[in-house]
Amino acid sequence: MDEYEIINSFQKEESTFSGLEDKNGEEFLGVEGKLSDEFGKPIGKHSSGKIFPKNVKTVYKLKEIFSWLEPEATKGKPSFGFGDRIGLATPGHIRAVENFDVFPVFAQQSIREMTRTNRKPEAVLTDAVWGVFREGYKNGFGADADHLKTKEDVEKTANAGFKMFTCDPGDFVNNVQDMDEDSVYKSFKKIPESDDLLLKYEDEVYKSENFEFKFNEEDVIQAAVKYYDAIEHAGRMFKWVEENINGEFEYEISVDETAYLTSPKEHIFIVRELLDRNIDFDNLALRFVGEFEKGIDYKGDLSEFISEFKIHSEISQKLGSYKLSLHSGSDKFSIYPVFRDIIPERFHVKTAGTNYLEALRVIADREPDLFEKIFDFSLENFEKERETYHISLNINDVVTLSEFDSNDYSESLNRDSIRQVLHVNYGAVLTAKDNSGEFKFYDDIIEILRENKYLHYKYLNKHLSKHLEKLTE
């Protein structure tokens, strides 16, 4: 009996490249023909040729050979980001997206996520590209280096091969609403071009179907104090991307992780200043009205959101061709139809944590004892791990697993409080080690997901298809 099962095969230059799977669900590359020497020393042989491990070296060489394994910029297409914090989810993502007219971004990770999971940009891209090869998906995909803050962030992800760069200048956004009038004015006068800004926007009127805005002096001062430094940083980061990328790339600016809303006038100010600096941005993530907490639906007045979103949409149409981007987009089912109906061709949505939760659904189904340990660990660490996330959950309101039969733990993942406790602990769970230096959970999670990969893909397909249906149908 053969030790490996052939998943698929592709030909190029008189060589055959096969995805292989062993009895434990681990995957490898088999290469037969003259190009096999390009991959270095094999770890074995098979009827499909020499066997190579699924690692960065192997997969990067593979994408040099097959152009459809190279990430692309989405450039104006409605798009959807599938964040994969474990590295095994792309086949499930492909099963979901191939039924919808949306451009997929399979490699999407923030520096914060990579730090928490101890992954490097090359590993994130390797896992996504391998999933594309495994499934033979040739319709194009993106790779988003998310929430970048520094020049080093840009350099690391650009060198790894990412093609979309999300600048997060949130550290430079000033909470002007918390400042007194005198402090605001003094801060404004420190801006080198403060007088020119007042002249630029004097008597400026912006009209569209649902709005008419005219800037007064206070509007300009407030917007400049709040966002000027952030816009300057976005400009610096754009130049860093240009210096590190040859060819087409996509640039997104995100001011969503801030304390206060982005008003329509502030939206106008941001875009005008970006354009005047010749920053060729593709997507803009604003701080919309309402609450966008991790792993659960939108919290807020839906009618208010729709009213505000219509105005933001018309501003984006009037001032440029950029897409509006929704961060913390996982499970925001109530507002997906708003994006679909108002900007059907001009949205980008990012998800991440919900994919991790579907992996835990597999654990809950197949190894409830392990799921229980992961939940208890996550609950114990909740207050610490929530610190960098906007979550209003009170730990005393968390539903406990005692309310569920152990054979039905997967149902617990439909409860908001449990979802959020597990969501914010992904990094702690995936990296926790015992006193002997062994992983507490990671190795077991990987083993179970490999052994039950088609159940994993099924859950991802079902859950992410629900997202895409709401966004497109």
Q: Could you give the residue numbers annotated as active site? A: 146, 252
Distance of alpha carbon 386 from alpha carbon 117, whole angstroms: 16
The radius of gyration of the chain from alpha carbons, rounded to an integer in Å, stands at 24
Q: Which of 83, 88, 22 is nearest to 445 (CA)?
A: 88
CA angle 460, 463, 465 (to 5 degrees): 95
d(CA 119, CA 86): 9
What is the SS3 assignment for 211? Answer: strand
Whether the CB-CB separation of 327 and 349 falls below 8 Å is answered with no
The Cβ of residue 446 has, within 10 Å, a number of other Cβ atoms equal to 18
CB 154 within 8 A of CB 244: yes
CB 52 within 8 A of CB 27: no
Residues present in the chain in total: 473
Q: Which residues pair with 350 in a beta bridge?
A: 81
Residue 72: which of 289, 250, 274, 256 has the closest Cα? Answer: 250
Structure tokens at 186: 């003094």
In 302-400, DSSP assigns E strands to 323-326, 347-351
- Residues 316, 75, 134, 138: is their CA dihedral positive or negative? positive
